Amino acid sequence: MSGISGLLGIDIGGTKVAVRVEGAGAEPYSAGFRWTPGADVGADITALADCLAVVRRHWPGPLRAAGVAMPATLDPEGRVTAWPNRPAWAGLGLAAELRGMLPGTAVAVADDGDLAALAEARAAGLTDVLYVGVGTGIGGGSVLGGELCPGPARGSFELGHVVVDRAGARCDCGRRGCVQSRASGPAILRRAAELRDAPVTYAELCEAWQRRLSWAVVAVDEACAALATAIVSAAELLHPEAVIVGGGFPSGLPGLTSLVSRHATRLSRPGHPAPPHQDARLGPLSSLDGALLLAHATCTSAEALEAVVRG
């Protein structure tokens, strides 16, 4: 196995990191960890470096390219300009840090929602999709004609920051009424706690949802209505073949996608039906699979450039 080169996918989330390396002729290798609550950015970077060191030891062949799915906003040089879930990362030169952890590996970083959309479109065999990921935040991505919209050079598809209620709750970004402030996993848990008048864990919400307890049903329903509002607005501009709903949070809430679809149908106007909604085929692995697609594209581009240089 020592001579097998690999492609690395890294999905950096608000609560955890998932990593997978693949290569022809070898079994894929997966790793990951959860961020330590309250840790500073130095500790976070050390934990990430330790995880990647384990991957490199397990995969002794070269890692040709790494694709990184990231929810934070980055500048063109790969420096974090904003990440509400981990504000201490602002100013961190993430791309440079990763290149230091992975010497000799081509590294590319892109928005996690965009990469999830690309992976889900490919899995569904569709060329025009709108992707919505419900997790620590609300991820969004659009694929039109098989390509990301608006495209990496122009920024990410920030569906989570579409305003659905100008007088609504304050979002992590500082603005009021973003769909993320109403429909992200933490927002749903906060609303459920208000209705129950007691703290609510994710496991408790999932159990209560399946038992159809009113506080859980109302909290999830309100979130789905907010999601549908953003989806219908985006669909008026994009006209996707399908809306794909994924992320880690819906996995314990069966029927969530159907509920979003029903709310979207109620918001549709004559002659313009809401697009069909479907569950993500890759589930919580959408962004990680997208990161591997980015690694493959990065590797292909690097090899093409090297061939040109060599003449």
Q: Please write the tens of the pLDDT for every residue from 193-242.
A: 999 999 999 999 999 999 999 999 999 999 999 999 999 999 999 999 99
Which residues are registered as beta bridge partners of 132? Answer: 140, 245
Question: Is the C-alpha dihedral spanning 228, 280, 162, 186 positive or negative?
Answer: positive
3-class DSSP assignment, residue 235: helix
3-class DSSP assignment, residue 274: coil
Q: How confident is the model at residue 301 (pLDDT cuts 50, 70, 90)?
A: low
Q: Which pLDDT score, from 0 to 100, does residue 257 have?
A: 97
Mean pLDDT of the chain: 91
Question: Is the C-alpha dihedral spanning 198, 202, 205, 207 positive or negative?
Answer: negative
pTM of the model: 0.88
Please enumerate in sequence order all residues whose Cβ is within 8 A of that of 237, keeping only pairs 6 or more positions apart, or say none. none
- The yes-or-no verdict on residue 310 having pLDDT over 50 is no
* Percent of the chain predicted with pLDDT > 70: 95
Q: Please write the tens of the pLDDT for every residue from 29-38.
A: 999 999 998 8
Beta strand pairing call for 138-144 and 129-134: antiparallel
Q: Which domains are delineated in the chain?
A: 6-111+285-310 (3.30.420.40), 114-281 (3.30.420.40)
Q: Which pLDDT score, from 0 to 100, does residue 302 have?
A: 52
Q: Which pLDDT score, from 0 to 100, does residue 215 have?
A: 98
Q: Please write the tens of the pLDDT for every residue from 140-153.
A: 999 999 998 887 77
Q: Please write the tens of the pLDDT for every residue from 241-258.
A: 999 999 989 999 999 999
Element (H, E) at 232: helix 214-238
Q: How confident is the model at residue 50 (pLDDT cuts 50, 70, 90)?
A: very high
- Tell which wins on pLDDT, 91 or 155: 91
Q: Are 132 and 159 in contact (CB under 8 A)?
A: yes
- The yes-or-no verdict on residue 121 having pLDDT over 60 is yes
State the chain's maximal CA–CA distance in angstroms: 69
Q: Please write the tens of the pLDDT for every residue from 159-185.
A: 999 999 988 899 988 899 999 999 999
Alpha helices in 79-184 (DSSP H): 94-101, 112-124, 180-183
